[in-house]
Structure formats: C-alpha cells, structure tokens
Amino acid sequence: MHMTASPHKVSAAGGAGSGSSSLVDTLIEFAGRRKGFWVFVSLATLFTAWEIAGRVPISFAFPTFLETVSALVEMALDGTLLPAYLITFQPLVIGVAVSAVLGIALGIVMGLSDKAEWLLAPVFIVLQAAPMAALVPLVTFVYGIGLVAKTLAVIMLALPVIVLNSYKAVRHVNPSLVDMCRSFQGNRFQQIFKIIIPDATPVLFAGLRLGIAAGFIGVMLAELLITPTGIGDLITYHRSIANYAHMYAAVASIIAVSTLTLAALQYVELRFLRPEKRRK
C-alpha cells in the first residue's frame, strides 16, 4: 500500500487495484465508505455559510465564524469558560440525573400497571404540553434564585419527556417475548428484568436523549431568566457590552457540548447495551 499522500487512514480491505493512488482517488474512495467524510462536509458547509453571512454582513451584531472561534479560544485560555461550565453543570447534572432515574422508574411502573398509568400519565402529559418558560418565574417565587430553583427548572423540562417515553417503551415491548418468558415459567421479576427492560432499551434511550436535550434548554432558561450564572452569565454579559463574537462563542459552545453529550450517550448505548448492533 502506498497511500502516504493520503491525509486519512483508509483500511486495507478494498484498497487494492488503485495503482495510481492519488490524493483525489483516495479521497473519493474514503467518501464512498466513511460516514465521517459526510459529517465533515456537512459541518464545513454550515461554517462556510456562517463565515460568508458574517462577512456580508447581515447584521453588525453577527460575527463571522472565524471571529467566533477565536473568541472561544480566547475565553478558553483566559479562564472564563471552564469556571462558567462548572457552574452551569451543577444544576444540569443534578437535574438530569434525578430526571433520568425518577423518569425511567416512573415510566416503567406506568408501563407495567394500568392504574399507575391512569394516575400519573395525565400529570406528565399536561407538564409536557405546558410552556415551561412561563413557569420558571413561579419557581423563582417559591425557591428563590439558587441551585434548587435552577435544578428544578431542569427537572421540569427533562422529566416529562423521559417519563412518557419510558412508558411508551414498556408498552411497546414485543408481547410475544413476554409470552415466551411466561411459557418457560419466568416469574414477574424475570419478565421485567430479562425481557421487558432489555426490549424497551432503544426507546428508553431515545427518551433519555430527548430528556437531556430538554435539560440543556432548562438550564439555559434558568440561567437567562432566574439569575445570570455560568454560561448564561457569559451570554448576558457579552451581549450587554456588545461583545458579539464572545456571546456567539458562548452560545455555540453550549450547543456543541449538548450535541457531544447526546452523541456520547448514543455511543454508550450501542457499545454496552446493544451488542447485536455492534456487528453489522
């Protein structure tokens, strides 16, 4: 293999036959095979459009992509970004953890028992339909402006999504698998832990991903509506002094963190809980 010109690693399989392996050939071959190439093209297109829009400019308050990146690097280096994230992560992590544990447990109970469903489902359907931003001031009124209020904002957004998805996940378990477990004299405990929960896992995780995304919305609402802290403070502060590149950098960074968190969750699910998906 003489692919030294290639900047990308291409696996040996199928690489044979390309005697004159120029950079272009290698790239084309890579594009045909790798998802990563298309993800890269997708992001590159987005950032180029952003850069052009910033240079036009569509608004004096709209920085270019490169200005935003350099502002982000600056904030990362001068020690403002990391402490801000440490503050933002407190209500986010606590709120998402509580929502995940409580939400999956409640959802599973609702999925298993009609009475639990009738008792709890209306509450969560109303909560999911309610515009939560309107309720955040009420939370402040009762719990003040501290960590409790912000954690509560995260839970209010994340919990209903996780509960309702977990409940649907259990309701859509293959009834034939449950019958199979019963026919081999599996008890109720075995039915739940060996059949129902594993079969519900894909939908449980879909709910968890939606819940975490909602948790990010909750923490940003809290930090923008209750009191500016963490990333919310960075956004508010740089907006107030018309430092738009830095403001956009803070916004973009929280979007990136949210995206990476969801991707990491998906990786964990596929890697550890869905062995059959590992092999194509």
Partner 1 sequence: MASPMTARVAETTSKPDAIVEVRDICKRYGDLEALRNINLEFERGKLTTLLGPSGCGKTTLLKIIAGLVPSTSGEIRINGKVVTGPGPERAFVFQDFALMPWATVLRNVAFGLELKGVSQAERHRVAKHYIGEVGLNGFEEKYPHELSGGMRQRVGIARAFSVNADVLLLDEPFSAVDEQNRRKFQEDLLQLVEKERKTFLFVTHSIEEAVYVSDRIVLLSPRPGRVSQIIEPNIDRSAAPDVIRRDKGYLDVVEEIWQGLRQYAE
Binding site for partner 1 (CB under 8 A): 174, 176-177, 179-186, 190, 194-195, 198-199, 201, 273-276, 279
Closest separation in Å from C-beta 196 to partner 1: 11
Closest separation in Å from C-beta 270 to partner 1: 12
Nearer to partner 1, 141 or 272 (CB): 272
Nearer to partner 1, 115 or 278 (CB): 278
Closest separation in Å from C-beta 154 to partner 1: 31
Residue at 157: amino acid letter: L
- Between CA 13 and CA 33 the distance in angstroms is 11
Nearer to partner 1, 11 or 185 (CB): 185
Nearer to partner 1, 35 or 279 (CB): 279
Tell me, rounded to whole angstroms, the distance of Cα 194 from its chain centroid. Answer: 28
Nearer to partner 1, 109 or 196 (CB): 196
Closest separation in Å from C-beta 273 to partner 1: 8
- Between CA 63 and CA 245 the distance in angstroms is 5
Q: How many CA atoms lie within 13 A of 278 on its CB side?
A: 9
Nearer to partner 1, 66 or 178 (CB): 178
Task: Kindly tell me the sign of the dihedral angle through the C-alpha atoms of 155, 158, 163, 166.
Answer: negative
Exposed/middle/buried for residue 170 (C-beta within 10 Å: 0-12, 13-18, 19+): buried
Six-digit token string for 246: 């830095």
Q: What is the DSSP letter of 133?
A: G
Q: Which long-range contacts (CB under 8 A, 24 or more apart) does 137-144 make?
A: 137/225, 139/226, 140/225, 140/226
